[in-house]
A and B are shown apart, each in its own frame.
Chain A
Amino acid sequence: MTRITPMLLLAIAAALIGSIMLGSVPLPLDRLLAALAFQSGPDDQLVVWQIRLPRALAAASVGAALGMSGAALQGLLRNPLAEPGILGVSATSALFATFVLYFGLAAAGPLVLPLAAVAGALTATLLVAAAAIRTRSVVTLILIGVGLSSFSAAIMALLMNLAPNPFSLADMINWMLGTVDNRSFDDLLFAAPFMAAGAAILLGSRRGLSALALGDEAAEGMGLDLRRQRLAVIVGAGLATGAAVALAGAIGFVGIVAPHLVRPFLRYDPARLLVPSAMLGALILMLADIGVRVLPTDSELKLGVVASLLGAPVFIWIAARRRLA
């Protein structure tokens, strides 16, 4: 039953090794180990420590953040098709990042872009959280999220429409497609605290997600503080998702598909789902990122594109096979 956790852990370890070995220059295991231990030539060390390891870890942490946020939001909203960006966090985060690219501010420093993305995520999170304090209805929250997403998308379209030159337009589009290419340990270190804080909040409130399976009214009667539970999930998922968008841009479907695939192994318990969902999310994005690098295409495929190509059919399959209500 819970054997899925060690199995996922093993698969993640294998994927991590694979993602360091595979790439434009294949690195056999002995050279890989030597480079990891700083016992090899500078070239191998550069490839491992500066390029492949941070990239693999970025894919893993983005997948984990999205997988856990998706699982928590699906539990809160009681809908298997809820995704991490459903409350408008991803779109607002992307909008702030697009602003930075539009005005060419990204050149001012390596952290300007992720800072803007996180600021956008926090803004959306605060707006939705403020609404959650006032309203009793989760549908209201979803509608606010949809509104935020649409508004952000509209302004992003406007910015692209008015893009000052083809380069900034290309920057915006590339960023929006989502990738972990060229990510460094500095990028990871910037995103890590937000992801860790979000994950800690989600894990701390996960027991309430089980209670919500029986509906808001029954859950409240069973002793759940509905308002606190909603705030915890909104803030936790907002932080983790925002950090993921800051690190890799917009990457869809992982947050929907990962929870869905592990759910049957956890007896459909929304609480125990969080950690395995995070692990499967990490695994999916690591594998997709290996695929992106190994596929012989003229220009490298973007991770977000591959994730969507794989994820969208699974999404339809989930929607068609829904068992209850």
Chain B
Amino acid sequence: MRLLEARSLGHAVAGRSLVRDATFAMDEGELVALIGPNGSGKTTLLRLALGLIPSDAGSAAIGGTPVKALSPVERARRIAYLPQARPLVWPQPVRDIVALGRFAYGAAIGRLSASDETAVSGAIAACRLEGFEERAADTLSGGELSRVHLARALAADTPLVVADEPVAALDPLYQHQTMQLFAGMAREGRSVLTVIHDLDLALRYATRILWMHEGRIVADGPPRETFTEQRLCEVFGISAKLRDNGGAIRLDIAGPA
């Protein structure tokens, strides 16, 4: 059974088509990078696939159940979603924010079961936030906050994590550590679908790349097969060279095409 399956999804706002005929699926043990230029419809596609906004065309299913038939709690137990916008209103301690990841299991802040506690501590450790547990959210840097939100999503312990630009605010060390964390999850049989703008990270760590351009998925396959100089030019409008560096492909971006 597929963790997530989107068939011919389409969505238009005020006559403008944001996503058209998008079909893709997520299986176990995958780290899929969703890439594409600004405004290519990546975030809208994620929302459609999760059923957070209604689709004008096509359908989506999570674990074999159509999203329309899934309650929010059932969905949250199958997929953890980390949106791109992460507003915080109250200066809550880090541990309490991460604990919200257990919401779908009936947990409330300050009232966690033993398994909730284990999941929260595990997520804090995975995002290297030990020592930050009691820090107030408004004393953290943007990158540290990003890791708190990621830990919140990971604390749900779901088979699939869908993350919208999780590494955008992180320094190079944490970007690589986060991608390695995702790759490790994929090796253990869990799956991650992530929007990412750093093409080099996508090329390095993803098991599969979804290329989006003007609302359509224009390519879907392993990095080695889908990364071509011509596609980089067509989709991103950049001139780039691909080098085979002893088995690993490296990307060399020269500038606008």
Listed in ascending order, the chain A residues whose CB lies under 8 Å from chain B are 78-80, 207, 210-211, 213-215, 217-218, 220-226, 263, 267-272, 323-325
Residues of B within 8 A of A79 (CB): 89
- Nearest CB of chain B from residue A123's CB, rounded to whole Å: 30
Q: Does B91 contact A (CB under 8 A)?
A: yes
Given A222-B104, A323-B91; A269-B96 close (CB under 8 Å): yes
- Nearest CB of chain B from residue A258's CB, rounded to whole Å: 16
Task: List 27 interface pairs A-B (beta carbons < 8 Å), by A numbering.
Answer: A79-B89, A80-B89, A213-B92, A213-B100, A214-B87, A214-B100, A214-B152, A215-B86, A218-B82, A218-B83, A218-B149, A218-B152, A220-B72, A221-B50, A221-B80, A221-B82, A222-B101, A223-B73, A224-B72, A226-B72, A263-B90, A268-B92, A268-B96, A268-B136, A270-B90, A272-B110, A325-B87
Chain B 74-116 near chain A by CB (<8 Å), digits 1 or 0: 1111011111011111111100110011011000111000000
- Among B79, B88, B137, B156, the one with the most A-chain Cβ atoms within 10 Å of its Cβ is B88
CA distance A78 to B86 in the complex (A): 13
B103 touches A211 (CB 8 A): yes
CA distance A80 to B149 in the complex (A): 22
B104 touches A223 (CB 8 A): yes
A220 touches B52 (CB 8 A): yes
CA distance A221 to B88 in the complex (A): 15
CA distance A145 to B80 in the complex (A): 34
Q: Does B71 contact A (CB under 8 A)?
A: yes
B96 touches A222 (CB 8 A): no
Residues of A within 8 A of B103 (CB): 207, 210-211, 222-224
B89 touches A325 (CB 8 A): yes
CA distance A224 to B73 in the complex (A): 7
Residues of A within 8 A of B198 (CB): none
- Nearest CB of chain B from residue A86's CB, rounded to whole Å: 15
Residues of A within 8 A of B73 (CB): 223, 225
Chain B 131-167 near chain A by CB (<8 Å), digits 1 or 0: 0000011100000000001001000100000000000
CA distance A224 to B71 in the complex (A): 9
Residue of B whose beta carbon sits closest to that of A208: B103
- Nearest CB of chain A from residue B125's CB, rounded to whole Å: 21
- Nearest CB of chain A from residue B166's CB, rounded to whole Å: 13
CA distance A269 to B107 in the complex (A): 13
Residues of B within 8 A of A325 (CB): 87-89
A272 touches B109 (CB 8 A): yes
- Nearest CB of chain A from residue B100's CB, rounded to whole Å: 6
B91 touches A213 (CB 8 A): no
CA distance A324 to B87 in the complex (A): 9
What number of residue pairs across chains A and B have CB atoms under 8 A from each other? 104
Residues of B within 8 A of A324 (CB): 88-91, 137-138
- Other-chain contact of A225, B71, B83, B109 (Cβ < 8 Å): B71
Residues of A within 8 A of B77 (CB): 223
CA distance A211 to B149 in the complex (A): 13
A225 touches B72 (CB 8 A): yes
CA distance A222 to B156 in the complex (A): 8
- Among B72, B73, B80, B82, the one with the most A-chain Cβ atoms within 10 Å of its Cβ is B72
* 8 extra interface residue pairs, beta carbon distance < 8 Å, beyond A214-B88, A222-B81, A268-B91: A214-B97, A217-B83, A222-B76, A223-B103, A225-B71, A269-B109, A270-B90, A272-B109
Given A221-B76, A223-B104; A78-B89 close (CB under 8 Å): yes
- Nearest CB of chain B from residue A261's CB, rounded to whole Å: 14
CA distance A78 to B92 in the complex (A): 13
- Nearest CB of chain B from residue A126's CB, rounded to whole Å: 25
Residues of B within 8 A of A218 (CB): 81-83, 86, 149, 152
- Nearest CB of chain B from residue A171's CB, rounded to whole Å: 41
A267 touches B86 (CB 8 A): no
- Nearest CB of chain A from residue B235's CB, rounded to whole Å: 26
- Nearest CB of chain A from residue B182's CB, rounded to whole Å: 18
Residues of B within 8 A of A224 (CB): 72, 103
CA distance A285 to B183 in the complex (A): 57
A210 touches B52 (CB 8 A): no
Residues of B within 8 A of A220 (CB): 52, 72
A217 touches B138 (CB 8 A): no
Residue of A whose beta carbon sits closest to that of B81: A221
A214 touches B138 (CB 8 A): no
Residue of A whose beta carbon sits closest to that of B109: A269
B81 touches A213 (CB 8 A): no
Residue of A whose beta carbon sits closest to that of B52: A220
Which 7 residue pairs of A and B lie closest in terms of their CB atoms, listed nearest first? A223-B76, A221-B81, A223-B104, A268-B90, A223-B73, A78-B89, A217-B83
Residues of B within 8 A of A263 (CB): 90
CA distance A214 to B85 in the complex (A): 9
Residues of B within 8 A of A270 (CB): 90
Residues of B within 8 A of A269 (CB): 90, 92, 96, 109-110
Residues of B within 8 A of A214 (CB): 86-88, 97, 100, 149, 152
A213 touches B88 (CB 8 A): yes
- Other-chain contact of B87, A210, A215, A222 (Cβ < 8 Å): A215
CA distance A217 to B100 in the complex (A): 14
- Nearest CB of chain A from residue B69's CB, rounded to whole Å: 14
CA distance A207 to B107 in the complex (A): 9
